[in-house]
Structure 1
Amino acid sequence: MKKISDLVYQPSRKRILSKSVFFSVIASASVICNAFSWSSKADAQTPPPVNNTEINSYAQAVLAMEPARQNAFEEIKKLISNGEIPKIVCNDSNSINGLPKKAQDIAVEYCTRAQKIVEDNGLSFDQFNKITIELQNNNILKRQVYNTLLRLQKTPEPR
Structure 2
Amino acid sequence: MKRIPNLFLSTSLQRKFSRSFFLGILASASLVTTSLAFSSQSYAQTPAVNNSVNNTDITSYAQAVLAMETPRQQAFDEIKKLIGGGEIPKIICHDSNSINNLPRRVQDIAVNYCEDSKKIVERNGLTIDRFNKITVELQNDNNLKRQVYNTLIRLQKSPESR
Band of TM-score, shorter chain: 0.7 to 0.9
Letter in 2 for 1:36: F
Q: How many residues align?
A: 149
Report how far residue 43 of structure 1 moved. Answer: 4.2
User: Which residues of 2 match residues 97-108 of structure 1 at below 5 A?
Assistant: 97-108=100-111
* Bigger Cα Rg: 1
Contact 1:31 1:89 in 2 (8 A): no
CA contact (8 A) 2:63 2:124 kept: yes
Residues 70 and 16 of structure 1, relative CA distance in 2, 3 Å threshold: same
Q: Is 2:133 aligned against 1:130?
A: yes
Displacement of 1:13 in angstroms is 4.0
> 2:40 matched to 1:38?
yes
Q: Contact 2:51/2:137 (CA < 8 Å) preserved in 1?
A: no
User: TM-score normalized by structure 1?
Assistant: 0.83
User: What residue is the counterpart of 1:5 in the other structure?
Assistant: none
The code of the aligned residue for 1:30 comes to S
Instruction: Note the C-alpha offset of 1:26.
Output: 1.6
Give the Å deviation of 1:47: 2.0
Equivalent residue letter for 1:19:
R
Structure 2 counterpart of 1:144, from 129, 140, 147: 147
Q: 5+ residue gaps in structure 2?
A: 1-8
Identity %: 62
Letter in 2 for 1:49: S
Letter in 2 for 1:116: K
Whole-angstrom distance in 2 between the partners of 1:54 and 1:16: 26
* Residues in 1 aligned to 2:55 and 2:67: alpha-carbon distance in whole angstroms: 18
91-100 vs 110-119, greater mean Cα deviation = 91-100
Partner SS state of residue 36, structure 1 = coil
Q: CA deviation at 1:29?
A: 1.6
Amino acid at match of 1:28: S
Q: Secondary structure at the match of 2:160?
A: coil
Measure how far apart 1:36 and its partner are: 2.2
- CA RMSD between the two structures: 2.1
Aligned equivalent of 1:88, options 84, 91, 95:
91
CA separation in 2, counterparts of 1:17 and 1:115?
A: 28
Structure 1 residue runs of 5 or longer lacking an equivalent are 1-8
Residue aligned with 2:91, SS: coil
Change (3 A) 1:87 1:24: farther
Q: Provide the residue aligned with 1:121 in structure 2.
A: 124
The aligned counterpart of 1:60 is 63
Is the 1:87–1:95 Cα contact (8 Å) retained in structure 2? Answer: yes
